[in-house]
Amino acid sequence: VIVSRDWTMSASGGASYSCSAGTNRFAAKIVVPGATDLGNKIYSTNVDGIGLRFSRGGATVNIVYPDVYSSYVNRQTSYSLEGSRFTLEVIKTANVTGSGTLAAGKYTSYDWENGSNPILETFLSANAITVVSPSCTVLSGKNMNVDIGTIKRSDLNGVGTTAGGKDFNIQLQCSGGVSESGFANIHTTFSGNLATSTTAAQGVLINEKSGNAAAKGIGVQVLKDGTPLEFSKKYNIGTLQTQETRYITLPYRARFYQY
């Protein structure tokens, strides 16, 4: 949950309804066009990776939209929405989220199950919720060539030995976005095709060259501060305040590895 907000209904005398004797059924509906259930009653929005969940609670009703509330009374009874609470949760639904303003319009209604005169409706006005996600741009481009140099065959003495090496930097420009906490942690992960008989913790890239001229059983290992980069591990590279922009330099070293 990125952020949660509660609204207490306080329209005295103006938000009430009367139930006749017997069973009364009320439907809490999601009515915004195009929204799909992502699970756990979280509904998609027009911003990638951002979902919404709606609920209402009070002395009589506690319900998460969409649902049906059933109430039995033995005589005509009046109820008021005054003092009850409506809750909106903005929820991250994907590892990578987009940025933008959530579409304005009607999102929910609360009415008799087959009624057409809602007791309660909720709307988002224009620019009510704007998502600004943290992001980073690789300034050197998506593809970066690192010339590790050349070594002698004798420099490698068997499986697990290393030789040579070249230092290089990856330059990032990162934005902290906007968040309820006021800051964003920036993380990186690394992936690639693992060399034969090596593990993710060793982080050895297989030599994908083929042919007679290709080095057999020699891969490349990338290190940070002398420690191999582990594939798929999350590395924290900094913390940015809301809307802060910062240039981040990531220093690494690449070397040959025999596998």
Of the residues 93, 114, 131, which one is the last residue of a structural domain?
131
**Could you give the percent of the chain with pLDDT greater than 70?**
97
pTM score above 0.95: no
In the predicted model, is pLDDT for residue 13 greater than 60? no
Please state whether beta strands 245-258 and 218-224 pair in parallel, antiparallel, or not at all (unpaired).
Answer: antiparallel
Under the banding of pLDDT at 50, 70 and 90, the label for residue 20 is confident
Looking at residues 64-91, what average pLDDT do you find? 87
CATH code of the domain covering residue 211: 2.60.40.1090
Under the banding of pLDDT at 50, 70 and 90, the label for residue 12 is low
Do 17 and 64 belong together in one domain?
yes
Looking at residues 55-69, what average pLDDT do you find? 89
Q: pLDDT digit string (tens) for 215-239?
A: 889 999 999 999 999 999 999 999 9
In the predicted model, is pLDDT for residue 243 greater than 70? yes
In the three-class reduction of DSSP (H, G, I as helix; E, B as strand; rest coil), residue 192 is classed as coil
CATH code of the domain covering residue 91: 2.60.40.3310
Count of structural domains, the chain? 2
Of the residues 113, 131, 149, which one is the last residue of a structural domain?
131
Both tokens assigned to 205: 């890239």
Under the banding of pLDDT at 50, 70 and 90, the label for residue 16 is low
Do 81 and 53 belong together in one domain?
yes
For the chain, count helices (H), then strands (E): 0, 21
Of the residues 112, 131, 150, which one is the last residue of a structural domain?
131
What residues are paired with 89 via a beta bridge?
A: 4, 53
What residues are paired with 255 via a beta bridge?
A: 221
Do 122 and 211 belong together in one domain?
no
Do 238 and 124 belong together in one domain?
no
Do 100 and 141 belong together in one domain?
no
Instruction: Give the position of tokens 């940025």.
Output: 99
In the predicted model, is pLDDT for residue 37 greater than 80? yes
What mean pLDDT value characterizes the chain? 89
In whole angstroms, how far apart are CA 37 and each of 17, 103, 143?
29, 17, 38
160, amino acid identity: G
Which strands form 105-112's sheet, in the order they lie side by side?
A: 67-73, 22-30, 105-112, 120-124
Give the C-alpha separation, 199 to 178, whole Å.
Answer: 37
Q: How far is CA 223 from the centre of its chain?
A: 28
Do 74 and 143 belong together in one domain?
no
Q: Out of 73-82, 166-175, 242-251, which region has the weakest mean confidence (pLDDT)?
A: 73-82
Give the C-alpha separation, 164 to 258, whole Å.
Answer: 12
pLDDT the model gives residue 131: 86
Do 68 and 151 belong together in one domain?
no
Do 88 and 162 belong together in one domain?
no
Q: pLDDT digit string (tens) for 86-143?
A: 999 999 998 778 889 999 999 999 988 887 888 889 999 988 998 888 888 898 777 8
Do 250 and 150 belong together in one domain?
yes
pLDDT the model gives residue 78: 74
pLDDT the model gives residue 105: 96
**Residue ranges making up the domain that contains 197:** 135-258
Do 18 and 117 belong together in one domain?
yes
pLDDT the model gives residue 140: 74
Do 146 and 123 belong together in one domain?
no
Looking at residues 63-86, what average pLDDT do you find? 85
Higher-confidence residue: 44 or 94?
A: 44
In the predicted model, is pLDDT for residue 11 greater than 70? no
Do 139 and 183 belong together in one domain?
yes
For 156-182, letters b (16+ CB in 10 Å) and e give beeeeebbbeeebebebebbbbebeee
